[in-house]
């Protein structure tokens, strides 16, 4: 019997089966695609985390004499790709006597310093640990011992390449070395960590003074210190691992940690492993959590909406199914047999939908994310696939089997056969409407939003550079309540308008229905529940598409802003510390083809108290014209207003919020910085006056810096040299950067926005939204069209017989179209209006709750008008298309439709 029944369904009611199957497939595909997104995102996080670590392990060897043994053991370990011994010594200080611009000898001394001993191959093995700013990284060669100075150390000593620096050693003669190069240590925090010490006892900042020597020279210099000062001389083995780790960050963290512990155990506790790799993977675990947060906020509503749409599509044929089940009962089928038939239909739809959905998700994953993996491991993939398929089967059961079971329990056979329904006459709203749950949900959403929007999700970057995420799960409730409340309110308003506002509706639809407006409004009043349902689904689909698109556009826009902050301009030319390029040199760059403008930017190091901060000198008259500053970069005024303060008072200075707080600055307060004088080479006090707070500044690598008037700085220090040129281009910056690079040679560093975008796009969160964006925007469009067209079309199709009767009574084709068009127009108007408003509110909520994602936070939302217009157009087309199909069918198959029961 079941086989006959299913065969009959496939032959006679293919549309009905296809509609529910398609809805199930879309739901399964949406869930499975999100699994693919999560998988690819986690894989990317793991890969990026491992890539960013310069030295995977820093194996501390307390007894330097045991370094060779430790080195052998490390190199013999299966996962080690390379290992280099490193010596670390602490000395009382460094000193240098250098000549200033006037030829006078200037002497500088530093406080305690760290001296590292590295091998010749160290820079090549760990390229992320050293970045050469001047000179060479090679420490071997004829002549005396050579050394590399960290950038700040070179600044402290006023030392350049070729200068001699003296190293004070306790109990030993001073060691004189020649500066071979100046380097930047990008990962100084981890390089100088106390290996094995708890997180709370780590140094607050890396050492101010660092020198690097060749390892052999280091041993000659510091081995004699071992006996008298063993605590000042230590050794490490720096290790690069092969990164053969699981794709999932959590699993990779466990594996990496286990490998490090294994080494420690193997060496019987004689070493301690500073596991930088595991620390980075630990942070990636947090990023993975963030990806799951995005999944919940951006992805899950789409899947839930697809499921709701499927249930609604199934409900469109509920009356017919009920009648068929009643017919079965009248013909002698038992309740069990009726349920079996319904279960068979649900199983058919569920299995077909699950298979199609998973196949669709694999295709979508390959197209959107470049991979079709449902999980990082086979087990995870199987789990996700099973979960998505189970969701599809559950959905089919809810849509088809649930109503059958309910009718068997609560409805009589005769009621189902006669389709005694009071739906049209029903004036009593559903329970949730009578209780006002929709209004309560909206109030709850507002309350949760107010409480959590400030604390929602923040990415906290501690100075050591390890990102963590602070999660407030309570913030999930805000958008969820907003969805529910808005759906209910839309239903309430549409129902109210069609029920009580018949005259208003008649007037409103007169342009569509003409003389039939009154009857059409009467009909809409009786069909208001179906129209309200279609409107709610359409509204939610529009809101989903709109909010996702706005969030994604804002995310991309802020990534662009971040790239501009990082790079400074379309093209940025950064002069090396030893260069003395002046503002006049901007002319050479300006002459390059494709350059629209060049803005010089001073860069100095300034001491405030014992802190060393970056100081940027700007030309207030022209910096705004370079187009690199935004109002969001400043606090307490616009960019024009705050830069204007620098123009109005030459000694005005903008400081970071942290500096203003630490020094309790009030507007006009004097702030004395120590800057290096070009003439003497000494640091001299220069007085500024506090004028405001600057939060972000192009090229500023840290959050604490100063912005001052370049002219005042040049006059006070006798140095107008430029730190960087901010270049704006007409068109693609990359070829312009190539031309500038060719012009200036290898000295200055030339970077362009295109390269920075790529670097920033895979930045702190390592979550690439591009793939998710494509999936979500496509799903949003599909749901909007389906919700409007399919739901209304199916509802109208159930009334096909009525429309046929109207046609048989002599209605012209235009009159039949007008009656259908009224319903379509009402649904379209409600969908676009309510959906647009909800989408706007949801966008604000999502951006506010997820504000920690953005760096810097957006000033306003970026609205992708072309996409939104496309969605509106597609929705209206879907609705009108569905209505047109129904209208046509009603007029073409008159006698067949009339024979329908």
Within 10 angstroms of residue 518's Cβ, the number of other Cβ atoms is 16
Q: Is 533 in the site for other proteins (CB under 8 A)?
A: no
Q: Is 523 in the site for other proteins (CB under 8 A)?
A: yes
SS (H, E, C) 857-901: CCCCCCCCHHHHHHHHHHHHHHHHHHHHHHHHHHHHCHHHHHHCC
Q: Which is nearer to other proteins, 776 or 797 (CB)?
A: 797
Q: Which is nearer to other proteins, 30 or 530 (CB)?
A: 530
Q: Which of 204, 431, 593, 809 binds other proteins (CB under 8 A)?
A: 809
Q: Kindly state the number of chain residues that form the binding site for other proteins, as judged by CB under 8 A.
A: 30
Q: Which is nearer to other proteins, 558 or 804 (CB)?
A: 804
Least separation in angstroms between residue 528's CB and other proteins is 10
The 8-class DSSP code of residue 400 comes to: I
Give buried/exposed letters for 183-192 (b at 16+ CB in 10 A, else e): bebbbbbbbb
Cα–Cα dist 691/649, whole Å: 9
Q: Is 814 in the site for other proteins (CB under 8 A)?
A: no
Cα–Cα dist 22/422, whole Å: 30
Q: Is 811 in the site for other proteins (CB under 8 A)?
A: yes
Determine the number of helices (DSSP H) and then strands (DSSP E) in the chain. 33, 24
Q: Which is nearer to other proteins, 419 or 687 (CB)?
A: 419
Q: Which is nearer to other proteins, 422 or 666 (CB)?
A: 422
Q: Is 806 in the site for other proteins (CB under 8 A)?
A: yes
Q: Which stretch binds other proteins (CB under 8 A): 428-436, 615-623, 745-753, 890-898?
A: 890-898
Q: Which is nearer to other proteins, 396 or 824 (CB)?
A: 824
Q: Which stretch binds other proteins (CB under 8 A): 280-288, 465-473, 611-619, 808-816?
A: 808-816
x/- string (CB under 8 A) for other proteins, residues 492-521? -----------------------xx-xx--
Least separation in angstroms between residue 802's CB and other proteins is 5
Residue 483, both tokens:
């969805």
SS (H, E, C) 50-74: HHHCCCCEEEEECCHHHHHHHHHHH
Q: Which is nearer to other proteins, 590 or 898 (CB)?
A: 898
Residue 81, both tokens:
């790709």
Least separation in angstroms between residue 510's CB and other proteins is 11
Q: Which is nearer to other proteins, 356 or 517 (CB)?
A: 517
Cα–Cα dist 601/698, whole Å: 10
Q: Which of 82, 327, 340, 522 binds other proteins (CB under 8 A)?
A: 522
Cα–Cα dist 753/341, whole Å: 63
Q: Is the Cβ–Cβ distance between 708 and 623 less than 8 Å?
A: no
Q: Which is nearer to other proteins, 488 or 795 (CB)?
A: 795
Exposed / middle / buried, residue 227 (Cβ in 10 Å: 0-12, 13-18, 19+): exposed
Cα–Cα dist 553/861, whole Å: 8
* Ramachandran angles phi, psi of 837, nearest 5°: -65, -45
Least separation in angstroms between residue 791's CB and other proteins is 17
Q: Is the Cβ–Cβ distance between 417 and 52 less than 8 Å?
A: no
Q: Which of 799, 822, 832, 883 binds other proteins (CB under 8 A)?
A: 799
Q: Is 805 in the site for other proteins (CB under 8 A)?
A: yes
Least separation in angstroms between residue 790's CB and other proteins is 20
Site for other proteins in 411-440 (CB under 8 A): 419-422, 424-425
Q: Which of 340, 802, 844, 889 binds other proteins (CB under 8 A)?
A: 802
Three-class secondary structure of residue 159 per DSSP: coil
Q: Which is nearer to other proteins, 610 or 895 (CB)?
A: 895
DSSP state string for 482-493: HHHHHHHHHHHH
Q: Describe the chain by its helix, strand, coil percentages, rounded to 5.
A: 60, 15, 25
Q: Which stretch binds other proteins (CB under 8 A): 83-91, 164-172, 590-598, 799-807?
A: 799-807
Q: Is 795 in the site for other proteins (CB under 8 A)?
A: no
Cα–Cα dist 454/69, whole Å: 53
Q: Which is nearer to other proteins, 318 or 808 (CB)?
A: 808
The 8-class DSSP code of residue 338 comes to: H
Q: Which is nearer to other proteins, 198 or 810 (CB)?
A: 810
Q: Which is nearer to other proteins, 105 or 809 (CB)?
A: 809
Exposed / middle / buried, residue 844 (Cβ in 10 Å: 0-12, 13-18, 19+): middle
Q: Is 661 in the site for other proteins (CB under 8 A)?
A: no
Q: Which stretch binds other proteins (CB under 8 A): 24-32, 94-102, 435-443, 522-530?
A: 522-530
CA distances from 306 to 299, 309, 357, 575 (A): 11, 5, 12, 55
Q: Is 812 in the site for other proteins (CB under 8 A)?
A: yes
x/- string (CB under 8 A) for other proteins, residues 738-777? ----------------------------------------
- On the question of a cis peptide bond just before residue 130, with omega within 30 degrees of 0, the verdict is no
Exposed / middle / buried, residue 208 (Cβ in 10 Å: 0-12, 13-18, 19+): middle
Q: Which stretch binds other proteins (CB under 8 A): 196-204, 225-233, 342-350, 805-813?
A: 805-813
Q: Is the Cβ–Cβ distance between 532 and 734 less than 8 Å?
A: no
Q: Which stretch binds other proteins (CB under 8 A): 460-468, 554-562, 809-817, 873-881?
A: 809-817
Give buried/exposed letters for 377-395 (b at 16+ CB in 10 A, else e): eeebbeebbeebbebbbbb
Q: Which of 125, 527, 535, 656 binds other proteins (CB under 8 A)?
A: 527
Q: Which of 13, 243, 458, 526 binds other proteins (CB under 8 A)?
A: 526
Q: Which is nearer to other proteins, 331 or 425 (CB)?
A: 425
Least separation in angstroms between residue 18's CB and other proteins is 25
Q: Which stretch binds other proteins (CB under 8 A): 123-131, 351-359, 524-532, 658-666?
A: 524-532
Q: Which is nearer to other proteins, 422 or 610 (CB)?
A: 422
Q: Which residues bind other proteins (CB under 8 A)?
A: 419-422, 424-425, 515-516, 518-519, 522-524, 526-527, 799, 802, 805-806, 808-812, 815, 894-895, 898-899, 901
């Amino acid at each position: 019997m079941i086989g006959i029944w299913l065969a009959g369904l496939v032959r006679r009611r293919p549309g009905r089966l296809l509609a529910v199957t398609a809805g199930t497939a879309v739901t399964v595909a949406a869930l499975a695609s999100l699994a693919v997104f999560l998988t690819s995102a986690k894989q990317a996080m793991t890969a990026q985390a491992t890539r960013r670590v310069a030295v995977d392990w820093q194996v501390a060897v307390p007894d330097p004499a045991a370094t060779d043994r430790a080195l052998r053991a490390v190199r013999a370990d299966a996962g080690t790709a390379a290992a280099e011994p490193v010596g670390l010594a602490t000395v009382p200080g460094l000193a240098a006597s250098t000549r200033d611009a006037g030829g006078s000898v200037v002497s500088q001394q530093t406080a305690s310093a760290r001296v590292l001993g590295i091998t010749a191959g160290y820079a090549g093995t760990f390229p992320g640990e050293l970045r050469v700013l001047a000179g060479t990284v090679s420490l071997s060669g004829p002549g005396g011992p050579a050394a590399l100075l960290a950038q700040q150390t070179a600044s402290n000593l006023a030392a350049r390449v070729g200068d001699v620096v003296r190293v004070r050693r306790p109990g030993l003669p001073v060691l004189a070395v020649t500066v071979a190069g100046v380097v930047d240590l990008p990962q100084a925090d981890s390089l100088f960590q106390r290996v094995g010490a708890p997180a709370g006892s780590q140094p607050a900042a890396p050492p101010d003074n660092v020198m690097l020597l060749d390892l052999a020279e280091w041993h000659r210099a510091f081995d004699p210190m071992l006996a008298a000062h063993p605590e000042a001389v230590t050794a490490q083995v720096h290790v690069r691992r092969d990164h053969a780790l699981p794709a999932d960050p959590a699993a990779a963290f466990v594996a990496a940690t286990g490998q490090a512990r294994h080494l420690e155990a193997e060496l019987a506790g004689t070493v301690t492993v500073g596991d930088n790799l595991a620390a980075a993977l630990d942070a990636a675990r947090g990023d993975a959590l963030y990806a799951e947060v995005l999944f919940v906020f951006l992805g899950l509503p789409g899947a839930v909406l697809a499921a709701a749409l499927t249930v609604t599509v199934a409900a469109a044929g509920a009356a017919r199914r009920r009648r068929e089940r009643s017919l079965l009962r009248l013909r002698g089928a038992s309740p069990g047999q009726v349920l079996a038939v319904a279960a068979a239909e649900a199983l058919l739809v569920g299995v077909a939908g699950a298979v199609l959905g998973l196949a669709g998700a694999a295709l979508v994953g390959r197209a959107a994310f470049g991979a079709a993996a449902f999980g990082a491991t086979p087990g995870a993939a199987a789990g996700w696939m099973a979960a998505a398929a189970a969701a599809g089967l559950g959905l089919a059961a809810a849509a088809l089997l649930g109503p059958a079971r309910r009718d068997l329990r609560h409805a009589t056979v005769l009621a189902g056969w006669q389709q005694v329904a009071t739906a049209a006459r029903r004036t009593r709203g559903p329970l949730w409407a009578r209780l006002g749950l929709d209004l309560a949900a909206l109030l709850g959403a507002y309350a949760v939003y107010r409480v959590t929007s400030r604390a929602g999700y923040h990415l906290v970057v501690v100075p050591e550079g390890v990102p963590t995420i602070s999660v407030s799960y309570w913030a999930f409730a805000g958008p969820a309540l907003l969805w529910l409340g808005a759906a209910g309110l839309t239903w309430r308003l549409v129902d109210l308008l069609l029920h009580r506002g018949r005259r208003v509706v008649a007037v409103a639809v007169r342009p569509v229905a003409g003389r039939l407006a009154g009857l059409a409004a009467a009909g809409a009043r009786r069909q208001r529940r179906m129209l309200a349902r279609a409107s709610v689904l359409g509204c939610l689909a529009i809101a989903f598409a709109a909010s996702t698109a706005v969030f994604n556009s804002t995310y991309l826009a802020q990534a662009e802003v971040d790239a501009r902050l990082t790079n400074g301009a379309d093209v940025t030319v950064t002069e090396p510390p030893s260069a003395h390029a002046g503002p006049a040199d901007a002319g050479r760059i300006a002459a390059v083809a494709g350059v629209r403008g060049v803005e010089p930017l001073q860069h100095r190091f300034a001491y405030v108290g014992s802190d060393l901060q970056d100081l940027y000198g700007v030309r207030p008259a022209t910096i705004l014209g370079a187009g690199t500053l935004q109002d969001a970069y400043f606090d307490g005024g616009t960019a024009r207003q705050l830069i204007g303060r620098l123009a109005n008072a030459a000694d005005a200075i903008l400081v970071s919020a942290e500096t203003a707080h630490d020094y309790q600055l009030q507007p006009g307060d004097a702030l004395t910085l120590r800057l290096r004088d070009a003439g003497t080479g000494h640091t001299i006090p220069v007085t500024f006056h506090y004028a405001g707070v600057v939060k972000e500044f192009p090229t500023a690598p840290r959050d604490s810096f100063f912005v001052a008037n370049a002219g005042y700085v040049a006059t006070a220090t006798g140095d107008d040299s430029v730190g960087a040129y901010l270049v704006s281009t007409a068109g693609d910056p990359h070829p312009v950067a190539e031309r500038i690079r060719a012009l200036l040679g290898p000295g200055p560093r030339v970077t362009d926005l295109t390269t920075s975008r790529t670097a920033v796009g895979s930045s702190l969160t390592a979550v690439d939204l591009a793939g998710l964006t494509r999936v979500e925007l496509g799903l949003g469009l599909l749901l909007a069209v389906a919700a409007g067209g399919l739901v209304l079309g199916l509802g109208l199709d159930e009334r096909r017989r009525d429309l046929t009767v109207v046609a048989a009574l002599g209605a012209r084709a235009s009159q039949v179209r007008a009656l259908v068009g009224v319903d379509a127009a009402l649904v379209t108007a409600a969908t676009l209006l309510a959906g647009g408003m909800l989408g706007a509110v949801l966008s604000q909520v999502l951006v506010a709750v997820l504000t920690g994602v953005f760096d810097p936070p957006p000033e306003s939302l970026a609205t992708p008008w072309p996409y939104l217009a496309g969605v509106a157009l597609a929705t209206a087309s879907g609705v009108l298309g569905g209505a047109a199909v129904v209208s046509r069918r009603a007029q073409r198959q008159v006698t067949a439709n009339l024979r329908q029961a």
